[in-house]
């Protein structure tokens, strides 16, 4: 699992994790998950609260790219994902985390 983080000038962090797709029984497709939070511990807690229990940040081998930071900062939830690795030739959009873990929106 590759992961990393970047501290923003405001003091908050963006954490990036590459994880196996939860709930998939076939080939282990991987996803890149981005979380914006006040600190690294809070970012991991947000993921664990969604049911992704075995999530750890070890080292900073794969920090988020500037494009990934921009994507997560512009999303209202601050939690997004897409398939990993994203091929350079094809555009793969970011998705809200609810579509990955199968939780209904809070307002439903």
CA dihedral 34, 40, 43, 49 (to 10 degrees): 130
Nearest by Cα to 84 from 4, 7, 28 = 28
* CB neighbour list of residue 81: distance below 8 Å, 6 or more residues apart: 31, 32, 33, 34, 94, 95, 97, 99, 100
Q: Does any domain span residue 107? A: no
Predicted local confidence at residue 107, as pLDDT: 38
> Which letter does DSSP use for residue 70 in this model?
H
| Residues spanned by the domain of 58 | 3-101
Is the pTM of the predicted complex or chain greater than 0.75?
A: yes
* CB neighbour list of residue 70: distance below 8 Å, 6 or more residues apart: none
Number of domains in the chain: 1
pLDDT at residue 25 is higher than 70: no
Q: Does any domain span residue 55? A: yes
Q: Does any domain span residue 106? A: no
Query: Could you tell me the pLDDT band of residue 66, with boundaries at 50, 70 and 90?
Result: very high
Q: Does any domain span residue 68? A: yes
Peptide bond into 70 cis (omega under 30): no
* pLDDT tens figures, 70-105: 999 999 889 998 887 765 555 678 888 877 776 544
């Amino acid at each position: 699992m590759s992961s990393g983080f970047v501290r923003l000038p405001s003091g908050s962090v963006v954490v990036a994790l590459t994880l196996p797709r939860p709930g998939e029984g076939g080939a282990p497709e991987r996803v890149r998950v981005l979380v914006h939070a006040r600190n690294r511990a809070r970012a991991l807690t947000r993921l664990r609260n969604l049911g992704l229990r075995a999530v750890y940040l070890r080292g900073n081998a794969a920090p988020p790219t500037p494009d990934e930071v921009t994507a997560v900062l512009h999303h209202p939830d601050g939690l997004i994902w897409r398939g990993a690795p994203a091929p350079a030739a094809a555009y793969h959009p970011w998705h809200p985390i609810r579509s990955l873990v199968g939780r209904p929106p809070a307002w439903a």
